[in-house]
C-alpha cells in the first residue's frame, strides 16, 4: 500500500513546490473518477505541490489513459503523471480487455519515459465497490496514486 497521507505528511525529502504533475482523468464513471481526481489533487497540494504546477487532462475512457499519459510524460517539464479511471465489470468482455490494456500501457510508459506514472484505475465488480475506494470506507485510490508518485520522485 502507498501509505496514508497522514503517514507521509511533512516527511518529504524533496521540494515538491518545484515539481510538475499531470493528472489524466477518464470520463467513464465520472462520479467515481471525479472523487479520485479530488483525492489525488488534494493530496498533492497537502504534500507541497503548487496549484499552478498541476495540469489536468480528461480522456473519454480508461482505454485512452495510456496514450494521454504518454503525451504528458513526454513533456520535458512534467515530472510525474497520475492516471485515474474506473472500469466496472458488466456483462461485457470489455472489462478484461480494458483492464489489461491499461495496466500494461501504463507500465510501459513508466519504463519508456523513466518517469513515475501511477496506475490509479479502479477495476471493480460493481459501483458499490468503486465508491468504497473513491473516498468511501476503503479510502481514496486517487490519493494513494498521488502518494505513490511522490514516493517514486523521492527515490
Interface with ligand DLZ: number of residues (CB under 6 A): 15
CA-based nearest residue to 88, from 56, 132, 40, 37: 132
Determine if 144 is a binding residue for ligand DLZ (CB under 6 A).
no
62 binds ligand DLZ (CB under 6 A): yes
DSSP-derived secondary structure for 57-126: EEESSGGGHHHHHHHHHTSTT--EEEEEEEEE--SSTHHHHHHHHHHHHHHHHHHHH-S-EEEEEEEESS
- Nearest alpha-carbon partner for 23 in 38, 4, 3, 8: 38
94 is catalytic: yes
SS3 (DSSP) at 155: coil
| Contact stretch for ligand DLZ (CB under 6 A) within 25-33, 50-58, 110-118, 134-142 | 25-33
Q: Does 64 bind ligand DLZ (CB under 6 A)?
A: yes
With respect to ligand DLZ, which residue has the nearer C-beta, 26 or 82? Answer: 26
Q: What is the closest distance, in whole angstroms, from the C-beta atom of residue 108 to ligand DLZ in the complex? A: 17
Catalytic residue from among 94, 104, 112, 128: 94
CA 24 centroid distance within chain: 7
Give the separation between CA 79 and CA 104, rounded to whole angstroms.
20
Please list every residue from 86 through 125 that binds ligand DLZ, using CB under 6 A: 86-88, 92, 94, 98
Among 39, 66, 85, 116, binds ligand DLZ (CB under 6 A): 85
Q: Which residues bind ligand DLZ (CB under 6 A)?
A: 26, 28-29, 60-64, 85-88, 92, 94, 98
Active site residues: 94
Amino acid at each position: 500500500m502507498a501509505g496514508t497521507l497522514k503517514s507521509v505528511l511533512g516527511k518529504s525529502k524533496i521540494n515538491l513546490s518545484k515539481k510538475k504533475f499531470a493528472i489524466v482523468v477518464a470520463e467513464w464513471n465520472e462520479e467515481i473518477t471525479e472523487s479520485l481526481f479530488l483525492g489525488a489533487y488534494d493530496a498533492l497540494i497537502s504534500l507541497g505541490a503548487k496549484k499552478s504546477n498541476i495540469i489536468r487532462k480528461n480522456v473519454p475512457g480508461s482505454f485512452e489513459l495510456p496514450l494521454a499519459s504518454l503525451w504528458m510524460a513526454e513533456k520535458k517539464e512534467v515530472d510525474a503523471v497520475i492516471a485515474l479511471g474506473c472500469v466496472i465489470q458488466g456483462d461485457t468482455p470489455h472489462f478484461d480487455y480494458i483492464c489489461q490494456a491499461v495496466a500494461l500501457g501504463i507500465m510501459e510508459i513508466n519504463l519508456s519515459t523513466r518517469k513515475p506514472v501511477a496506475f490509479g484505475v479502479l477495476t471493480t465488480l460493481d459501483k458499490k465497490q468503486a465508491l468504497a475506494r473513491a473516498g468511501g470506507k476503503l479510502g481514496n485510490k486517487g490519493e494513494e496514486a498521488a502518494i505513490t508518485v511522490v514516493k517514486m520522485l523521492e527515490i
